[in-house]
Chain A
Amino acid sequence: AQKVTQAQTEISVVEKEDVTLDCVYETRDTTYYLFWYKQPPSGELVFLIRRNSFDEQNEISGRYSWNFQKSTSSFNFTITASQVVDSAVYFCALRGYGNNRLAFGKGNQVVVIP
């Protein structure tokens, strides 16, 4: 079974503050893939990152950074110096090797207040 938990449902921050979104996952697979998607109010899910289970390097892309820790089964996402355009729902997702289904978390609604 695969499960993704995103505990914080709605997070409000003032513009330029940092915000961290927690993602905790459960899987019996030794090889698996983790994803983050952004869903702005327009509805489209925008792919942000994919991380393979055997690659624990953290990643930074502009104001976005990801912290993958297998020891705690977590794949957290930080937005630095948030902007109003970051307001969206962010989904963490998991897919096990050989499994064609993405298991989504419930999503984090991020509201950036100008």
Chain B
Amino acid sequence: DTEVTQTPKHLVMGMTNKKSLKCEQHMGHRAMYWYKQKAKKPPELMFVYSYEKLSINESVPSRFSPECPNSSLLNLHLHALQPEDSALYLCASSQDLAETQYFGPGTRLLVL
């Protein structure tokens, strides 16, 4: 079962709001990823967690704050976002950093 779930599916937020995106996998994978994807573009890597520790931060602005509470869960906390942050946010997981990444359905975020 290669399933990664993400909630919510859609999110609309104002620039002063605080919200969180959630990602969950029950495949026993030890690496989890956040990507941002703008329309008609490929996904861009934001963060990588390996064994619940932050492994890669691709110079993402501090208004995005990742959290990995346990090996199955990955959160992305959002605060004071800008309209240009509107995008599809994809979560992925893999057995470890060397293995194939499996993606969730994404959260479509609109910042007003």
| A positions within 8 Å CB-CB of B | 35, 37, 42-47, 50, 91, 100-102, 104-107, 109
Question: What is the chain B residue whose CB lies nearest that of A43?
Answer: B106
**In the complex, what's the smallest C-beta–C-beta distance from A22 to chain B, in angstroms?**
16
Q: Given A42-B105, A101-B45, A106-B42, are A47 and B56 neighbors across the interface (CB < 8 Å)?
A: no
Please count the residue pairs between chain A and chain B whose beta carbons lie under 8 angstroms apart in the complex. 43
A100 to B101, CA, bound (A): 10
Q: Given A47-B2, A91-B42, are A102 and B108 neighbors across the interface (CB < 8 Å)?
A: no
A35 to B104, CA, bound (A): 17
A105 to B41, CA, bound (A): 9
Give how many B residues have a beta carbon under 8 Å from the other chain's beta carbons.
21
| B positions within 8 Å CB-CB of A | 2, 40-43, 45, 48, 55-56, 88, 90, 92, 97, 100-106, 108
**In the complex, what's the smallest C-beta–C-beta distance from B32 to chain A, in angstroms?**
12
List 5 other contacts, CB 8 Å, given A43-B106, A50-B100. Answer: A37-B103, A45-B103, A91-B42, A100-B48, A102-B45
B103 to A44, Cβ gap below 8 A?
yes
Q: Given A45-B90, A91-B42, are A102 and B101 neighbors across the interface (CB < 8 Å)?
A: yes
